[in-house]
Structure 1
Amino acid sequence: MFLRSRVFSCLLMALVALNAAAMGQAASAPETAPAPRLDDKKVIPYRITRGDRLAVSIFGEPDLTAGNKRVEGNGTINLTLVGYVRVYGLTLAEAADAIEAAYRDGRILRNPEVTVMVEEYSPRVVTVSGKVKFPGRVDLPPEQQWTIKDVITKVGGFDDTARGTAVRLIRKQPDGSSKVYTLDVQSTLLGKDRASTSTDASFPVEPDDTIYVPEKII
């Protein structure tokens, strides 16, 4: 009886020791690091811009397939038999649809199957001047949509004399005129996330835009 009690006590002590060791290991194990955040800048379908050179392939129609089609200043490309088709601002898939429609509506092809590819990207540049830390030209990535906030951040942000609530963005129009947008970018950069200012800071930039940051009125 005494021997059985002693064996039971030993087993109980061993169990307690193992449990304590396991708890100690759990306590000393490092916490799992959170997964790194992905870049929140979304990759978007590329949109054709002026100066791009495109390859247009039409399945089963080698005579109509052509490369090195430059997007003109008015946003069009010149295609065999259908003439000028507007592709500026379209994704490659949308441009293919527009070209298919041109051949179909012109009763040249019944069911055209078009593929559009970019052979050469036009330089995608915006110019920033005025009261920013590093004024100059900014290259835009081809397959990301940058906002005016992204561009201002790229040039180092506003300097101390900037009037960041009245940033002017000048954009060329297809007819040669210019359109001016006045945007409040500073409020969002300072964390004032009102709906209107957040929208301003998220204003998308396009190649050949000019951004001017005026001086603060004292």
Structure 2
Amino acid sequence: MRLFKFCTYVLLAGVLATVSHRSWAQVNSVNDSQPTKVADQSAIIIGPGDLLDLTVFDVPELILKVRVDSTGIVNLPLIGDLKFAGMTVREAQLLIARKLVELEMVKKPEVSLLIEEFATQGTTVSGEVNAPGIYPLMGPHRLFDAISAAGGLTVKAGRAVTIIHAGQKDHPEIITLPEGTSFEQANVTIYPGDTIVISKTGVVYVVGEVAKPGAFLMENNTSMSFLKAIALAQGTTKLASQKHTLILRKTSTGTLQYEVPLNKIYQGEAPDLQLHAEDIVFVPTSNVKTYGAIGLQGAISAAIASIYVLR
């Protein structure tokens, strides 16, 4: 009886081992059948110090990794010296194929070339970041890596990010930064040589006789109403002249002044207005009119000067 049980256990163990082996084989087969996604590097420019991964089908001597020297030259078996620095990956692939045909080594060469390590090219980050500049991000990185390297976004940063990929200046990529916590879709791949420009969100300034003068960001870069700007500044003071409130707007020909009857807007007798980015709302004191035009201009100049403090 004991011998029968022992044989049964051995038989079950063998069956389980076989099933387990087949299951793992199937899993590995599925994983191996899924192609690894490789980002397109064809337009990236090769630089000195870059490490290249070269594969020429059916030519074992040209399945290797080689580094570009300081002069931009690569020495390849069977071919010799080739200057790759300044070429795109695609151009280098075509050059290798052409050389193999000229040397009558391969009739129709299949060449694969990838930059495995980037050595010299930096990623340029400009616009509304705390430390604009060129950063030597080695190899492919994500957008937020580049922004982080540049000190992060400023308080005036907009949600639009323009990415100009190396070799594709006529086809910039526009990314919209999300408001929530889901960053994965916006966190695109960045390569050395790319340029990243962070947009500036619209800002409206409210100064003068208001409870809390300041610079107020336009949500989603959209317009802001006049009453909302006053509300963000926590309303006017008791000394405010609601009849002579001004909007100062910069144009190509200078600064224009628009007088706005705030009291009538409050009472619904005049329509609310839409402000533009960089508009200045100036609420003067009620007795500023007694100073005449010169006094009013002086008050406006003082308000504009205060904008530089707010910035």
Using structure 1 for the length normalisation, give the TM-score.
0.49
The structure richer in strand per residue is: 2
Using structure 2 for the length normalisation, give the TM-score.
0.36
Rg larger in 1 or in 2? 2
Bigger RCO of structures 1 and 2 (CA < 8 A, at least 6 apart): 1
